[in-house]
Structure 1
Amino acid sequence: MLGHLLGEVLREQEGQALFDQEERIRLLSIRRRRGPHEGRAQAAAELAEALATLPAEQVEPIIRAFTVYFRLVNLAEQHHRIRRARAHATDAEPQRGSLEATFLALRRAGVSAQRAREAAQSLEVTLTVTAHPTEASRRTVLAKLFRLAEYLEQRDRCALTPVEQERALAAAREEITALWQTDEIRHERPSVGDEVKNVAWYIEEILWDLLPDVSDQLERAFAHAYNEPLGALPNPVRIHSWVGGDMDGNPRVTPEVLEDAILAYRVRGLRLLVRAAARLGDALSQSSRHVTPPPSLLASLDEDARRLPDVAATWAPRTEGEPWRRKLRFVQARLEATLALGEARRAFLRRRMDGHGSESPAATPTGNEAAYSAPEELTKDLALVADTLVAAGCARSGAEEVRALLARVRVFGFSIAELEARAPAEDARAAARTLSSSTTVEVTSGAARLLGALDAIARAQREGGERACRTLILSMTQGPDDVLAALACARAVGLGIKGTAGAHIDIVPLFESHDALNASADIVRALLDHPEYREHVKARGAQEVMIGYSDSSKEVGLLAAAAALRRTQEALPEIAREAGIALRIFHGRGESVARGGGPAQQAILALPPGAVAGRYKATEQGEALDHKYARPQLALRTLELVLGGALLHTLDVQPRPGDAQHARYAAAFDEMAEGGRRAYRALVWEDPRFERFFATATPLDAITRLNIGSRPSKRASGGMESLRAIPWVFSWTQNRAILPAWYGVGSGLASFGKKPGGVAQLREMAASWPFFSALLSSVEMVLAKSEISIFARYAELAPADVRDAIAPRILEEHALTRRWIKRILDVSKLLDGNPTLKRSIALRNPYVDPLSYLQIELLRSERAGADVRDRELLLTLNGIAAGMRNTG
């Protein structure tokens, strides 16, 4: 239906000739894949010819037609997922992965109600949203897609009259027309502020209203499984953000930008709270003539009137005899005062950033007796309102709405997200040297930026509480001295004064490289043995350690990186237990398999025992937000999967191999990982021709040149070693090889499988070891998505000598990996065991192919010296990414 509407829009807006051209290209692409086998080569040749000779004025509209189509396809698939979830709601058996299925699995595994209750009540899940340089949809586009999704839901839920159906269809068509007429391309590189607005959309429009439902879902699922109430439950989900605080390789994130991001999240959160308090004030109309207000409420109103006489004078006549309404007006007024301070502070900061103010930060607007000093003051007021409503017999006439707002405040505080800061470890070392030296030491730009950022964080905590920003992540941590240096810097600005009362920030080492992962256990042990640092961690309550899935994979390939990550997560919980310190592992996952992506619950259950222990934290990258959180039902399903996985893992009820069996499996995997590492390194790092092939057989030059994200594609000047993992993976997704997610896997599997009994053991591991099963499943998916014949066309862009040396090795490893994956999984075709995903890929790929052909032509033309056509190139990048998904 959506595709039909798009066809109508194309004819109306671009004319019949353009529509006919698009249809010809589409049908040729389908014939190339699904037509009679003997005619596919002819269809491929005709498709290539049609696109190579496309009139210049038709190139952009054709690219946009397929790109908008993928927008609509993604919307339709999301809606289908919602339909499936609703259908399962009436089934006897709950949907796989749901919270109800989770608690039923716990009960069937013999977990008592009390043990399950304790696990649920202590569970902590933190999702940290990050910007993504391959996905930066404009907020206006997100809003249009949101309205289209609402139309689809209305169409399913409501029995519309013929006139209503006609109007609704016309409204959807208008939205698609507006989407076609809207420029998705930014004319400038998106600023950090643009990225803040993008992630804010998902929180404001989806998660803000949704999160109170999470506790309700937990309570219902528990009650259904155990036939008894769960009891008081704090919301287990927290939303954090790196957007605005990630200084790793992004010179645009200055201390002022970081502080502005904190204020932006706070101002947006306070605006939502003001509106919510106003709505509650309108709703709580209980009269003291009919309901007796408890003394505690009346006493609090007297205190409010004493503190805020102007507010009391304004609202007293309007709320006479309506004590709860009057209380909410005081709450609203205090929130408005808090918001006014935040807006004034941000306006002041913006003037300074624009060069229109020279005042020091100490001169910023402060002080307002009406304002809340911290979220805890607001939660106290809301808890009083909820409790007094219940005490007065109003449990079903307003108390639940108050508790829902209270739940939001407990999750979000005053901000829609808690900002986290990230900085290179070398900056912490340089900054600590300037603080400790008795002589004048040159202050590096990184050191100055880090100290300025910490000072801004300290100021934000004084103004809005610790939850404004209380995490500093040290990228590329190499040793314990990096963390100790960061702690010294934090203490210098008042964030970590010696002693419990002054510990206001978590210092989080990030282990990214293969060597760093292998050294992580020794580094963390040394830190927890350090008396001063140990005191700091005890004051904070837990040691957080972040592990990166990207750089190690880029260095040594998927198998060796997975082995190092597994060993790290086996060692760290044991070290923390020995030290008597709680541990929280932070998973720096991307969406692509090469960067730790995969089905959320399956990935959690594949973690080593003890790696969760009631605390799970992971990044949610920019592109993931669209297909995981674009609709409330999708977001709730995503959170269910994560929470369910964390509960199952914490209570350790999923099938696992025994200790001896695990040791045998781990030794086998490490052996094949070493074989995979050698094959991967031999191609990617040891053959001097590979870098030239990579630069010419992918659109890397376009990716690094175009205005896709605020962050540069490289950490520093240099070659492939300085290239970030996201553009590395994104480049290989664009040329359809998706090489980082599988190269070396076939060699590793073959090296072990060819041993006596090797195939039998690999099949046994796939059936019995969640870690290995999840990895094979991810590689299978990537191989099914890859299109090696399209990659071969991209390879033609490389110089002949380089192409002849590198491309055959890639083709050979791809074929080897496919053979071994199918052999171990005992299937004749990839994804035979996942027909839904198989069908989705089969439906999408024919529509991605024309964009790939056009991108090749644009790259070939540009490299031959023709005019640069950046706009068309960027449109192909966006279109292929939308069609492929899992790009970074």
Structure 2
Amino acid sequence: MTAVETVAAPHELAKEQPLLEDIRLLGRILGDVIREQDGEAAFALIERIRQLAVADRRDSNSCSAAALQELLHGLTGEETVTVVRAFTYFSHLANLAEDRHFLRRRHVHERRGEHSRGSLAAALQRLEKAGVTAGQIADALRHAYVSPVLTAHPTEVQRKSILDAEKAIAELLAARSHLQRLGALEQAAGETDARLASQLAANEAAIRARVTQLWQTRLIRHARLTVQDEIENALSYYEATFLQEVPQLYATLEQHLEGRALPAFFRMGQWIGGDRDGNPNVTAQTLRHALARQAAVALRHYLQEVHLLGSELSMSEKRVQVSAPLRALADASQDRSSHRADEPYRRALSGIYARLAATLQALAPGEVAPLTVRAHGQAYPDAGAFEADLRTIAQSLREHHGQALLPARLLPLIRKVEVFGFHLTTLDLRQSSDQHEAVLAELLRVARLCDDYSALDEAARQQLLLQRLNDVRPLRVPGHAYSELATSELAIFDAAREALERYGRAAIRHYIISHTETVSDLLEVLVLMQQAQLVQGTLEEGATARIIVVPLFETIADLRNAPGIMQDYYALPGIARMVLNSGAEQDIMLGYSDSNKDGGIFTSNWELYVAETALVETFNAIGQRHGGQVRLRMFHGRGGAVGRGGGPSYDAILAQPHGTVRGQIRLTEQGEVIASKYANPEIGRRNLETLVAATLEATLLPQTEPVPQAFLQAAQALSDASMQAYRQLVYETPDFASYFFNATPVREIAELNIGSRPASRKPGQRLEDLRAIPWGFGWGQSRLTLPGWYGFGSAVEAFLCADGEAGRAARLAQLQEMAARWPFFQTLLSNMDMVLAKSDLALAQRYSQLVPDRQLAQHVFAEISAEWQRTVDALNAITGEAERLKNNPGLARSIRHRFPYIDPLHHIQVELLARWRAGETDERVQTAIHISINGIAAALRNTG
């Protein structure tokens, strides 16, 4: 696997040469490993399949397609697994080469003083040109809250063992790039160094060892992933990336802002261990386990850093003076070693280490400190006390000529404690509104307050719930045996109260209500929180809530109703006062996945835009009415695929309606996107910077002009037509669900051990019950990427024809103007451009052949193909570009290099799906299907 197909222009090839060399190196090593492990015949078979797939892509009329089908059809089970593993691993290795090339090119630009779009440096330059001062930026960040939130979902396909091996290869590629730069410098100076050649050879040998490890490691899990596994996978990113890179993010910002100190405005968030919606495996015990493991990761990291500080701060009192608080800290440490008698900083750090070790035992029982603790320590009451001790050390160093010792470790450690505390990351709670209703109905019935709460209309529900919020008496009847659901749900609220007392308020800040459709959905959670003393006092007297109640608006109807629901909620007596008393924060979560599945790509994005604008206006009015501004924070439930709100985060944030960010944003990071963004620490920091850069620009850059009313009216017209076309296909075409479940590997995805959560909310094959995540994932696997574009072509065609042929040119000109001037429309078109570039009708047609009802298959595929062409034509007409990804050369390059290697995976997957569904019971067939799912997801990257 050494050939790389290229058709780029010469100047592009020059830029790509290092990338091509890395891909060739990794491909050659993989080929050598396959020869060694499986023999020459296996390697020759893989090469033959690759060559036929390349020929088929280049010339679909050639005989290569027939030859490829014949070859694949004749593969044995063992041969199939070997071939699929080979192409899957090549996709993984190509990803590593591309990541290295991205960083290489970025370093080149930065050395030239060119700052990449989306970088902090570029954002600060734009702000400076707009007249925004460093003081204004610092002031905005003092009131900001930016948080990426890691979530698990049922299409996460990467094993941690694989990720760890790939991380090692990425580090070796980085080291190789450094050696090659040294070699280039020596060659330019006319020097040669045999030692450098030896180092390169050793580097290649080390890569070969890790590739061998990959080849001998299972790609997929034998057992379904548990919530505990998902927790550990997520925590590995904190150890590898976040704990190291987040402090660097702050340091970079403070350097740009002329040394102005910044508060901890950037925080990490997480759902894994607290998200119960549709996942019966998440319980109160799971929540406790997640919080304890988070604390363990934070504290073990701090212990290691304190130990290293002890080796660095070896100053003797015979050489330097120390502050009185530092001396008191040293004397209190109980470190009586004669070796450290004159080393007050080390004695102070010994005491700090002992207290941290005791804290680890208290917050994460069973965890052991990395080193033996010589002195006894009393556990810290909270992270603030630990931070105060560190600041005592820092202040003493400043006062006694030790400033040079601060930046390397002590200041970053202080920043870590500010950001991560003892809780590491804010863990959100989430549950569906219907579950809250069921629990509350049972509580009220047992308490003899309401026989059938669920039968009440909305007004009666609100009245009853408000009565309960003005009555501090508990609803729970002591000694009564409640149902399993009620017992489990109430235990969650009790565990949340314990968590706040144990780990601090930042441990749990948000309770998210899925399927929020009424005001009572919000009140129900407040009443349930009241039972665990998470709401204190009564609404009449001025209650406080210890956790923010967060509505999640998911469907198109929910988004349209969101402003009215929030207006009515805050109009209830005592609610606004409670929120103001509790910190004046209101998060609102917006669902990208379900709104897309409900109404299609354009309507989803447009309704989100409209809802955000209306919500800001609503909360401005609430602030005026109640004499206190509630800080509104949008929480964007974005997935990896464009159909689920994916695409570049920088563009997505800047495309938000003006005035809706205001320094406040949370957004989900899911599945393969987490690995691609944060497995590599340097790439991780770049992505974290991007979130801050975009938030600053969206908050502080003045709006050049209001969005013209004509643009808004056009978008509404496009949305109406797009939704009609989308729903006509998906929800009105007879047996469309049958087409989807047969023409994609979604059934096999559900069987794959890739997540703790079921793929569907209910058994069966109803699209309404299928989660939006496997919906998008299935279309990605079959290369139609339908959720990312369907309906737009029909919408544009209807819009252009609205005034007859005479008005067509003027309407097209308007769409072109919208694409040039309106970030919302620009970003939407760019994302559709990307998913269309990744779509492939020829491959998708092969998947359609899996549908048993041939008439249904031909009809549906014809409809999809026609809309695909309409959408391509519309995009071409609006942008003036007939070539996909004309303005995204990086992704175009990626597609050019990887598609000849991903095509065989699709061909094999279709063949295997046909065999498996026909009743072939060879376990190797199922294994190969699951590996192919992994390989295709890895190659497409933003698929889930």
TM range (shorter): over 0.9
**For 1:207, which of 217, 234, 242 is the aligned residue?**
242
AA aligned opposite 2:230: E
Asked if 1:8 corresponds to 2:32, the answer is yes
Q: Is the 8 A contact 1:33 1:40 kept in 2?
A: no
Mapped to 2, the partners of 1:117 and 1:606 lie a distance apart of 23
Asked if 1:133 corresponds to 2:154, the answer is yes
**For 2:273, which of 224, 244, 256 is the aligned residue?**
244
Aligned to 2:390: 382
Q: Is the 8 A contact 2:360 2:367 kept in 1?
A: no
Q: Is the 8 A contact 1:431 1:443 kept in 2?
A: no
Mapped to 2, the partners of 1:99 and 1:551 lie a distance apart of 32
Aligned to 2:305: 276
Asked if 1:232 corresponds to 2:261, the answer is yes
Aligned to 1:147: 168
Q: Is the 8 A contact 1:97 1:641 kept in 2?
A: yes
Asked if 1:448 corresponds to 2:487, the answer is yes
Question: Cα–Cα, structure 1 residues 443 and 530, in superposed 2: closer, same or farther, change >3 Å?
Answer: farther
Asked if 1:746 corresponds to 2:774, the answer is no
Asked if 1:614 corresponds to 2:663, the answer is yes
Mapped to 2, the partners of 1:585 and 1:475 lie a distance apart of 15
Aligned to 1:260: 289
Provide Cα deviations, 1:455-488, integer angstroms capped at 9, x if missing partner. 1111122222222223211111111111111111
Q: Is the 8 A contact 1:268 1:415 kept in 2?
A: no
AA aligned opposite 1:208: L
Deviates more, 1:687-696 or 1:762-771: 687-696
Mapped to 2, the partners of 1:652 and 1:210 lie a distance apart of 26
Aligned to 1:651: 700
Aligned to 2:869: 815
Q: Is the 8 A contact 2:330 2:345 kept in 1?
A: no
Mapped to 2, the partners of 1:369 and 1:821 lie a distance apart of 66
**For 1:717, which of 747, 755, 763 is the aligned residue?**
763
Structure 1 segment 468-617 matched on structure 2, within 5 A:
468-498=507-537, 503-538=545-580, 539-579=582-622, 580-617=629-666
Aligned to 1:308: none
In structure 1, the residue corresponding to 2:635 is in which secondary structure? strand
Deviates more, 1:293-302 or 1:558-567: 293-302
Aligned to 1:363: none
Q: Is the 8 A contact 2:603 2:723 kept in 1?
A: yes
Displacement of 1:863 in angstroms is 2.0
AA aligned opposite 1:395: Q
Q: Is the 8 A contact 1:319 1:325 kept in 2?
A: yes
In structure 2, the residue corresponding to 1:127 is in which secondary structure? strand
Alignment size in residue pairs: 848
**For 1:25, which of 38, 49, 57 is the aligned residue?**
49
Deviates more, 1:336-345 or 1:626-635: 336-345
In structure 2, the residue corresponding to 1:293 is in which secondary structure? coil
Aligned to 2:859: 805
TM-score w.r.t. structure 1 length? 0.93
Aligned to 2:496: 457
Provide Cα deviations, 1:661-687, integer angstroms capped at 9, x if missing partner. 1x2211111111110111111110011
Question: Cα–Cα, structure 1 residues 502 and 293, in superposed 2: closer, same or farther, change >3 Å?
Answer: farther
In structure 2, the residue corresponding to 1:720 is in which secondary structure? coil
Q: Is the 8 A contact 1:212 1:408 kept in 2?
A: yes
AA aligned opposite 1:152: L
Structure 1 segment 316-331 matched on structure 2, within 5 A:
316-331=337-352
Displacement of 1:652 in angstroms is 3.1
Provide Cα deviations, 1:641-697, integer angstroms capped at 9, x if missing partner. 111110000013465x425x1x22111111111101111111100112211111111
**For 2:900, which of 819, 832, 846 is the aligned residue?**
846
Q: Is the 8 A contact 1:573 1:611 kept in 2?
A: yes
Provide Cα deviations, 1:70-125, integer angstroms capped at 9, x if missing partner. 11001011111111221122113322221111111111112233322322343321
Displacement of 1:397 in angstroms is 2.1
Displacement of 1:49 in angstroms is 1.9
Deviates more, 1:394-403 or 1:233-242: 394-403
CA RMSD of aligned residues (A): 1.9
Mapped to 2, the partners of 1:501 and 1:760 lie a distance apart of 55
Provide Cα deviations, 1:576-601, integer angstroms capped at 9, x if missing partner. 22222111110000010110011111
In structure 1, the residue corresponding to 2:513 is in which secondary structure? strand
Mapped to 2, the partners of 1:765 and 1:697 lie a distance apart of 36
Mapped to 2, the partners of 1:707 and 1:19 lie a distance apart of 29
Flag structure 2 segments of 5+ consecutive residues without an equivalent. 1-24, 183-194, 369-375, 452-480, 623-628
Provide Cα deviations, 1:2-34, integer angstroms capped at 9, x if missing partner. 111111111111110000010111111112223
Q: Is the 8 A contact 1:334 1:370 kept in 2?
A: yes
In structure 2, the residue corresponding to 1:675 is in which secondary structure? helix
Asked if 1:790 corresponds to 2:836, the answer is no
In structure 1, the residue corresponding to 2:176 is in which secondary structure? helix
Aligned to 2:820: 767
Mapped to 2, the partners of 1:664 and 1:845 lie a distance apart of 41
Displacement of 1:443 in angstroms is 5.0
Displacement of 1:433 in angstroms is 3.4
In structure 2, the residue corresponding to 1:829 is in which secondary structure? coil
Asked if 1:880 corresponds to 2:929, the answer is no
Question: Cα–Cα, structure 1 residues 446 and 773, in superposed 2: closer, same or farther, change >3 Å?
Answer: farther
Asked if 1:171 corresponds to 2:185, the answer is no
Aligned to 1:732: 779
Mapped to 2, the partners of 1:2 and 1:775 lie a distance apart of 35
Provide Cα deviations, 1:483-505, integer angstroms capped at 9, x if missing partner. 11111111211222127895321
Aligned to 2:916: 862
Provide Cα deviations, 1:836-882, integer angstroms capped at 9, x if missing partner. 21121122222111111111111111222221632111111111111
TM-score w.r.t. structure 2 length? 0.87
Displacement of 1:531 in angstroms is 3.2
Percent identity over the alignment? 37
Q: Is the 8 A contact 2:722 2:795 kept in 1?
A: yes
In structure 2, the residue corresponding to 1:550 is in which secondary structure? helix
Displacement of 1:445 in angstroms is 4.3
AA aligned opposite 1:458: R
AA aligned opposite 1:279: L
AA aligned opposite 2:876: K
Q: Is the 8 A contact 1:390 1:399 kept in 2?
A: no
Mapped to 2, the partners of 1:833 and 1:654 lie a distance apart of 24
Mapped to 2, the partners of 1:496 and 1:5 lie a distance apart of 60
Q: Is the 8 A contact 1:484 1:533 kept in 2?
A: no
Q: Is the 8 A contact 2:33 2:212 kept in 1?
A: yes
Structure 1 segment 37-56 matched on structure 2, within 5 A:
37=59, 40-56=61-77
Aligned to 1:226: none
Mapped to 2, the partners of 1:29 and 1:40 lie a distance apart of 13
In structure 1, the residue corresponding to 2:674 is in which secondary structure? helix
AA aligned opposite 1:782: V
Flag structure 1 segments of 5+ consecutive residues without an equivalent. 223-228, 306-311, 348-367
Mapped to 2, the partners of 1:280 and 1:112 lie a distance apart of 36
Displacement of 1:429 in angstroms is 2.5
Mapped to 2, the partners of 1:481 and 1:543 lie a distance apart of 17
Mapped to 1, the partners of 2:441 and 2:915 lie a distance apart of 51
Deviates more, 1:133-142 or 1:602-611: 133-142
Q: Is the 8 A contact 2:640 2:671 kept in 1?
A: no
In structure 2, the residue corresponding to 1:41 is in which secondary structure? coil
Mapped to 2, the partners of 1:373 and 1:40 lie a distance apart of 73
Displacement of 1:52 in angstroms is 1.6
In structure 2, the residue corresponding to 1:205 is in which secondary structure? helix
